[in-house]
Amino acid sequence: MKIGLAQLNYMIGDFNGNFEKMKSAIEKGIAANADLLLFSELSVCGYPPRDFLEFHHFINECENVIHKLAAVAGNKIAIIVGAPSKNPTKHGKDLYNSAYFIEDGKVKFLSHKALLPTYDVFDEYRYFEPNKEFNLVEFKGKKLAITVCEDIWDTGETNPLYRINPVAELAKLQPDILINLSASPFNYKQAAKRIDVVRRNAMQFNLPVFYCNCVGAQTELIFDGGSVVMNAKGRVFKELDYFQEEVFFCELEDVEQNEINHELDKNPTKLIHDALVCGVQNYFQKLGFKKAILGLSGGVDSALVLVLAVRALGKENVLSVLMPSQFSTSHSVDDSLRLLENLDSPHKIIPIKEVFDVYDKILQPHFENKPFDVTEENLQARIRGNYLMALSNKFGYILLNTTNKSEAAVGYGTLYGDMCGGLAVLADVYKTQIYEVCNYINKDEEIIPTHILTKAPSAELRPGQKDSDSLPDYDVLDKVLLEYIEHHQGPDEIEQLGFDEKLITRILRMVNRNEFKRHQTPPILRVSPKAFGSGRRLPIVGKYLES
């Protein structure tokens, strides 16, 4: 039996575009004399469709695509397609998250998703009814166990998340092949974890596994692909490329006889880099935008955003704006110009001192002669934000926000200033990780000038300012933030790791007090297991850790 995986980049609600991609894959399958072709979870409508699922018209459009795909496949190839299906009973939610098995141009079998995650970025029980009946489908003399994403993920023997294991239920019926349609969002640990989960299922139930994931970015969520074909011995026959569309075919017999692991490199820094490029590129492509703008400060964050944007959009489509003030150091401009020369990308230089002086003159009588403080610092950031947004409005650029995760966590940024933008590229990347990605970029040649990477970080909003004047050193700060945000460790647990109690209290209070800022940031590209945004839901008003 020849089986194919269609690892494709869908767009939510683009029914015609998604159909054309899937049609092309089916035609490749027919040309390859394949017997069965797999698509990913909710491939017909794109994942995650969220509240679009509440529109009857949206569901009807999904059904129309299913009928069109069935006609294309005809009696030449069988396909398994992800799409919502209507719950025929009056009990429970109106929909199932389903895998459609289509043979001879007809829907022969529906397999519904049983495990509906509600953690992190997922909220599937909001829309779908969980499956409670488990059956196989026979095809070409083989019994197929068809599952959807989360159904294979609850393999933890010591602390299972769910009360039922769908694969274990299906295994009682003695299937020959385990199939999984997935839409599993990327984080820098996901590729390694995915292989482990697939291997656990393959070896525990003695089944070859065909795991088909989607690829591409849907606003803040990024999907890396990495679809897997694995035999019952836990050996990877094929792991499809990360962040690339691919249609792959293989003979089941070859998979079963495979004795070598064919796995891809899972370097987290490379994966973060590639994910961010994919995230920027897809955000612009899918919204129909072509050109980006950003403020280039001479610091490491904006330098990295520029490189990523150039790689995603092309050097001619990214405009950098240098906006020096009276507090800017000469090397900030020089370092930025050197970077721009390396990338051959366009730029403008628009100083802000003249406008700042006018603001200062007008506001001084109303400030009641109070001394220079954070107010004047924020004024500079907001002037820069106004410059960038004015150019964005005039020429149709999308402003890329350059805030990193360390800054976003502790509120080290100015609302309506350096925190404005259409997309926050780095707000899920800690400052220490920023340097790692920059060094990865420079591995073959110096693209980002060395001085940008070695000088002390500074917002340059007052004379001699350094980030360390207001924040703990990033090497320490990021470690505490990681424990609190990603690992959900409280102050006592973090202190047991060797950190100072007063430092912990200070950092955690900063994180909690700045929730209001994070609620007003642009969409954040998610590359970690716990990003700010829809996957981290905390109240703005609260008193936890305040006393």
- Per-residue pLDDT tens over the stretch 34-61: 999 999 999 999 999 999 999 999 999 9
Q: What was the pLDDT predicted at 350?
A: 97
Summarize pLDDT for 326-383 with one digit per residue, the tens. 887 778 899 999 999 999 999 999 999 999 999 999 999 999 989 999 999 999 999 9
Average pLDDT taken over every residue of the chain: 96
| Strand partners of residue 533 | 536
In contact, 454 and 480? CB cutoff 8 Å: no
Average pLDDT score over residue span 493-498: 97
How many other C-beta atoms can be found within 10 angstroms of the C-beta atom of residue 396?
A: 11
Q: What was the pLDDT predicted at 49?
A: 98
Q: With a cut of 70, say whether residue 158 has pLDDT above it.
A: no
The bridge status of strand 209-212 relative to strand 228-230 is antiparallel
| Segment among 164-173, 193-202, 467-476 with least mean pLDDT | 467-476
Q: What was the pLDDT predicted at 459?
A: 73
| Segment among 341-345, 459-463, 530-534 with least mean pLDDT | 459-463
Q: What was the pLDDT predicted at 156?
A: 64
Could you tell me the pLDDT band of residue 464, with boundaries at 50, 70 and 90? confident
Q: With a cut of 90, say whether residue 428 has pLDDT above it.
A: yes
Q: What was the pLDDT predicted at 67?
A: 98
Query: Catalytic positions, please?
Result: 41, 113, 149
Q: What was the pLDDT predicted at 57?
A: 98
Work out the percent of the chain whose per-residue pLDDT is above 90. Answer: 93
Q: In what order do the strands lie in the sheet with 36-38?
A: 106-112, 95-103, 78-86, 36-38, 2-7, 246-251
Q: What was the pLDDT predicted at 157?
A: 64
C-alpha to C-alpha distances, 142 to 3, 174, 199, 274, 479, nearest whole angstrom: 12, 10, 21, 38, 50
Average pLDDT score over residue span 483-501: 97
Work out the percent of the chain whose per-residue pLDDT is above 70. Answer: 99
Q: With a cut of 90, say whether residue 109 has pLDDT above it.
A: yes
Q: What was the pLDDT predicted at 78?
A: 98
Domains recognised in the chain with CATH numbers: 2-265 (3.60.110.10), 272-466+514-518 (3.40.50.620)
Q: What was the pLDDT predicted at 469?
A: 80
- Please name the residues in contact with 411: beta carbons below 8 A apart, sequence gap of 6 or more: 510, 513, 514, 517
* Sign (positive or negative) of CA dihedral 42, 45, 49, 54: negative
Q: What was the pLDDT predicted at 457?
A: 84
CA 522 to chain centroid, in Å, comes to 14
What six digits make up the tokens of 352?
Answer: 């802000």
